[in-house]
Amino acid sequence: MKPRHLLLITAVTAITISAISATGAWANDRYATRAPVVMSPDLTAPWVTQLQQQRPRYYYPAPSFTRQRYYAPSNTTRRVVTRRAPMTADQPPRYRDVGYRRPVQRATRRPTGEQPQRQMNPIYLPQTVAYKGSHKPGTIVVDTTKRFLYLVEANGKARRYGVGVGKEGFEWKGTNRISRKAQWPDWRPPAEMIAREKEKGRILPVHMEGGPANPLGARALYLGSTLYRIHGTNAPWTIGQAVSSGCIRMRNQDVEDLYERVKIGTRVVVM
């Protein structure tokens, strides 16, 4: 080894030993007291300015567009709010009106066999009217053209009821007397009616007990020995129409009222 190399090594070793002696042992250096941090009096320094510009961190979704839908009542429009997250006071939400289509309401199907809710013309409701006919008080007069039944009273008055009469081909006119009265009568359709309805695809019973479903209704006034009757009905909306097979039909509450006003032997005139 050359002498100059030896001199260089000796110099480095001396410098290292001097440094260790000046600062203390390396093992105790980490426990040494640190110098205090002195803040710069210049508040416009770059690092101070950056601290003042820090804002609270908002936990919003990723900065992408999201849509929130608010549904209004069916008679108005709805608004779709489109906002960018996070939002600030100087960035209000943007609105756009979207037409609202009212949901389609499906019609409910009427159960099989249920009758439609039809109304009778109020002109056929019972009332007392003036009567100028020639028939004596106590007589029942049926006007098949106007579809009214009159119970003639004294002093030129009559109790008038709306009725249903015989349909085309089953009309009749004549005079007879009430031969029998019955409450909630049973029904025995004649053989001709059973055969006629069978051709139309409708099967009639041979006999039906009296009750709300019985076509003769709540009361029946039989006319002589014929098959014709003044009776109630379970289809009151047919009053004022020509729909029967020749009988005179009334609302149940009307035939009940007439039933209490007349007696067996009362004269009935069908015009």
C-alpha 244/C-alpha 170 separation (Å) is 8
207 is catalytic: no
* Secondary structure tally for the chain: helices H, strands E: 4, 14
C-alpha 136/C-alpha 152 separation (Å) is 7
Tell me if 234 sits within 8 A of 253, measured CB to CB: no
C-alpha 59/C-alpha 154 separation (Å) is 95
5 is catalytic: no
DSSP SS3 for 11: helix
Shortest CA distance to 68 belongs to which of 88, 85, 52, 90? 85
From the list 5, 135, 207, 247, the catalytic residue is 247
Tokens of 138: 């106590």
- Give phi and psi for 60, each to the nearest 5: -105, 165
Shortest CA distance to 231 belongs to which of 170, 183, 169, 176? 183
Distances (CA, A) of 32 to 17, 21, 141: 20, 15, 132
C-alpha 191/C-alpha 197 separation (Å) is 10
* String of DSSP letters for 204-234: PPS-B-SSTTSTT-SEEEEETTSS-EEE--S
Tell me if 242 sits within 8 A of 166, measured CB to CB: yes
C-alpha 219/C-alpha 154 separation (Å) is 25
For tokens 């009776």, the residue is: 231
Active site residues: 231, 247
